Structure 1
Amino acid sequence: MSCKCKCACSEGDSKAADKSKEVLDTVKEYYGKVLKKTSDLKTDACCTAKTRMAKSAKDALAMVHDDVVSRYYGCGLIVPECLEGMKILDLGSGAGQDCYVLSRLVGEEGHVTGIDMTDEQLEVARKYQQYHADKFGFSKPNTDFVKGYIESLGAAGLEDNQFDLIVSNCVVNLSPDKRAVLTEACRVLKEGGEFFFGDVYADRDLPEEIRKHKVLWGECIAGSLWWKDLYKIAEQVGFSRPRLFAASKISVKNAELEAVLGHSKFVSVTYRLFKLPQTKERVTEVVYNGGITDFEDSFKLDHEWTFKKGEAQVVSGEMASILKTSRFASKFTLTATDKLPTVAEVVMVDPFEYVARDTTENGSKCCPDVKGQSSKCGSAAKVEGKGKCCGGK
């Protein structure tokens, strides 16, 4: 009996491995061979949720080499706050645009590692390491680019508790094994570390017809996770509950692809996941003291919580743990209290409902007009949602 069980599992594992390899090969070919520029994309799914780009990020982006920018497939950036001196990992770093922006923002004492599985992209990224160090006035490069798979960071030499922050820009959906990605991300983060990432999510568990469509895989759609599953996986691998930072509706303006997708809907969402200690914090009164570059007067942590400088707010135990153990700790004063939280947090936020509530600020562009990037992310692209400009890959 045990032998049959073992054989059955082995056969199932083999089939799963074959399917994963097929997906990875499809993605590798699409981003290494097929795509040459952003306008080659057939949908706007590679645009992450719309957020206002901070001045320091805009300034850094303007300094990135044109060759790197030209190999960037998407629009906008994924740039969190409070980055000085941080050690950052970018999952699916491509030609290195986001890495170089982040390397400028972390400063000479910080470091940015990019991991990608595509030789063509890595070649471009590595070519300009010294160029950007010189451009930023650093004595040596503070970046490195490793070849590997985001499901197997250990195989690429990335160690436990190595990074303060992980970012990813519309890449996790391209993985055939999201659980492995989140498990590895949690492993390599330090306690108090954050996974800040933009990705595409579906309103349902997608049927096989969509899952096996090669173009939709490359377009960041076929691999979309049902948004509810993210909450389950995050809890199971050791992350805090996902905190929605921004979200935008995705419109697929391609008749052939629309026919395949049927009634399935998609959103681009930026989430924050934290690796918190086991010790639980109590409800706490907090005051933001300022000091975060570009966000001196107020700091938005998620769609529910914006902290204004000098204003006391009462937060939940989990939020208290985030502010106490993360890179934001030095920017807040925390005091024990018996008061009720200022905001009654919603444990599971439906991003589709969130976007539906926030349609009054729609822009005509899915991303800002920045160097080397089209204001449209694909053919007849349009992203709808809250904000002024979007993130991207």
Structure 2
Amino acid sequence: MATDVSTGFVTDAVKDYYGKLLSSSQDLKTSACCTAEAPPPHIADALTRVHEEVKDRFYGCGSPIPAALDGITVLDLGCGSGRDAYVLSQLVGPKGRIIGVDMTEEQLAVARRRQDWHAERFGWANTEFHQGYIEDLAGAGIADDSIDLVVSNCVLNLSPDKPRVFREIFRVLKPGGELYFSDVFADRRLPATLMGDAELVGECLAGALYTEDFRRLMADSGCADARTVAASPITLSSPDIERKIGFASFTSRTVRAFNVPLEDRCEDYGQVAVYRGVLPEHPHAFDLDDHHRLHTGKPMLVCGNTADMLSRTRYAPHFTVTGDRTTHFGLFPCAPADAAATSGTETWSGCC
């Protein structure tokens, strides 16, 4: 996973691309840094109250905004012009706190310029924006165990030192805290030399996370089970970029992980979870990931990891989880439904 290209080159390339070369999302040459699907209604509604200049300078690939946000502290990595930060500002409410970190001064200038405008419109001021690097959150003033939720929108791929980023994320997350992010993933390891191409770096392709290396990075950071929430293919509309990339294919994925001790496989303890249906935006069902949709009031047999994700995090008030670890029934058949359908066999792999 190492690269022969200097960290300084990558950092400068990203700063120039997003600070100087791009004037709006319309200047992008691929769909990698564009949101593929319409946001949920409550987020779409919040977006109507975000300043147009902030939205015009948005370069994201998803909608990494989970549920159960009231009153929590959120850290937005690579916050850019502040679009997601200002959406989150509304959802956490006046008792919550939003901290944005970005290294590009031109982007931060937009976010800061509109703070008073948003505070007046929302009725509260709960945003702050720090200049800094996501590899060094301590340098940006983020303390240990101080954050309930870390979000990021198509930024982690831009880092030249991803292991350090994930170590920093789990350093600042409180026990039970959540990482919820959207980013670009590749189906193979890409040549390190691509990180020397400023355009491919800026288009979020050269640094795309190889899915298996991501799994290993998370395990090294202390997270044995990260879940894919949603995924969609990325279109490479530029022939020149297609030529440079070769045969690799890319997806935009939204992923969640928790700062909770988990097992590296999904184990069966006979536990059952019931969603209470009390989250306003999710009255009928809650999607934990792409293969766990918990319908309101309907008991669902879950693995030990899923039970812990629902009972040892801020989601605990919204679920009833029964059963303990006194009896073990072996591995739990916990995998995406499409994986089993594709293979034609029963799948007993872990959830990650």
> Is TM-score (shorter-chain normalized) higher than 0.5?
yes
Give the structure 1 partner of residue 83 of structure 2.
97
Kindly indicate whether residue 146 of structure 2 is the aligned counterpart of residue 162 of structure 1.
yes
Q: Which ranges of structure 2 fall in alignment gaps of 5 or more residues? A: 343-352
Kindly indicate whether residue 113 of structure 2 is the aligned counterpart of residue 127 of structure 1.
yes
Select the residue among 297, 302, 313 that pairs with 2:300: 313
Q: CA deviation at 1:119?
A: 0.6
Kindly indicate whether residue 201 of structure 2 is the aligned counterpart of residue 214 of structure 1.
no
Paired residues of 2:61 and 2:252 also in contact (CA < 8 A): no
Q: SS where residue 184 of structure 2 aligns?
A: strand
Q: CA deviation at 1:296?
A: 1.2
Q: CA deviation at 1:293?
A: 2.3
C-alpha distance 179-273 of structure 1, shift in aligned 2 (>3 A): same
Q: CA deviation at 1:158?
A: 0.3
C-alpha distance 108-178 of structure 1, shift in aligned 2 (>3 A): same
Give the structure 2 partner of residue 328 of structure 1.
315
Give the structure 2 partner of residue 82 of structure 1.
68
Q: CA deviation at 1:73?
A: 2.4
Q: CA deviation at 1:82?
A: 1.2
Paired residues of 2:29 and 2:238 also in contact (CA < 8 A): yes
Kindly indicate whether residue 21 of structure 2 is the aligned counterpart of residue 34 of structure 1.
yes
Separation (CA, whole Å) in 2 of partners of 1:75 and 1:341: 38
Q: Which ranges of structure 1 fall in alignment gaps of 5 or more residues? A: 1-12, 358-393
Q: CA deviation at 1:341?
A: 10
Give the structure 2 partner of residue 185 of structure 1.
169
Q: SS where residue 320 of structure 1 aligns?
A: helix
Kindly indicate whether residue 126 of structure 2 is the aligned counterpart of residue 142 of structure 1.
yes
Deviations 1:91-133 (A, max 9, x none): 0000101000000000001111000001111111111112212
Paired residues of 2:34 and 2:59 also in contact (CA < 8 A): no
Scaled by the length of structure 2, what TM-score is found? Answer: 0.89
Give the structure 2 partner of residue 114 of structure 1.
100
Kindly indicate whether residue 211 of structure 2 is the aligned counterpart of residue 239 of structure 1.
no
Q: SS where residue 111 of structure 2 aligns?
A: helix
C-alpha distance 75-204 of structure 1, shift in aligned 2 (>3 A): closer
Paired residues of 2:67 and 2:279 also in contact (CA < 8 A): yes
Q: CA deviation at 1:238?
A: 1.0
C-alpha distance 128-342 of structure 1, shift in aligned 2 (>3 A): farther
Q: CA deviation at 1:34?
A: 0.4
Give the structure 2 partner of residue 152 of structure 1.
136
Paired residues of 1:48 and 1:248 also in contact (CA < 8 A): no
Q: CA deviation at 1:264?
A: 1.2
Kindly indicate whether residue 239 of structure 2 is the aligned counterpart of residue 255 of structure 1.
yes
Give the structure 1 partner of residue 41 of structure 2.
55
C-alpha distance 180-91 of structure 1, shift in aligned 2 (>3 A): same
Select the residue among 258, 262, 285 that pairs with 1:298: 285
Deviations 1:166-218 (A, max 9, x none): 11000000000111111100110011111100111111111134232110000
Bigger shift: 52-61 or 21-30? 52-61
Separation (CA, whole Å) in 2 of partners of 1:164 and 1:65: 26
Q: SS where residue 198 of structure 1 aligns?
A: strand
Bigger shift: 330-339 or 144-153? 330-339
Select the residue among 303, 321, 334 that pairs with 1:345: 334
Paired residues of 2:36 and 2:62 also in contact (CA < 8 A): no
Give the structure 2 partner of residue 391 of structure 1.
none
Separation (CA, whole Å) in 1 of partners of 2:262 and 2:141: 27
Identity of aligned residues (%): 43
Bigger shift: 117-126 or 236-245? 236-245
Separation (CA, whole Å) in 2 of partners of 1:210 and 1:279: 35
Paired residues of 1:45 and 1:268 also in contact (CA < 8 A): yes
Q: How many residues align?
A: 335
What RMSD in Å do the two structures reach over aligned CA positions?
2.5
Q: CA deviation at 1:53?
A: 2.2
Deviations 1:233-269 (A, max 9, x none): 1011112422010111112111111111111111111
**Residue identity opposite 2:178 in structure 1:** E
C-alpha distance 269-48 of structure 1, shift in aligned 2 (>3 A): farther
Deviations 1:47-67 (A, max 9, x none): 3564x5222211110000112
Higher RCO (CA 8 Å, separation ≥ 6 residues): 1
Separation (CA, whole Å) in 2 of partners of 1:76 and 1:207: 25
Separation (CA, whole Å) in 1 of partners of 2:263 and 2:154: 32
Scaled by the length of structure 1, what TM-score is found? Answer: 0.80
Q: SS where residue 154 of structure 1 aligns?
A: coil
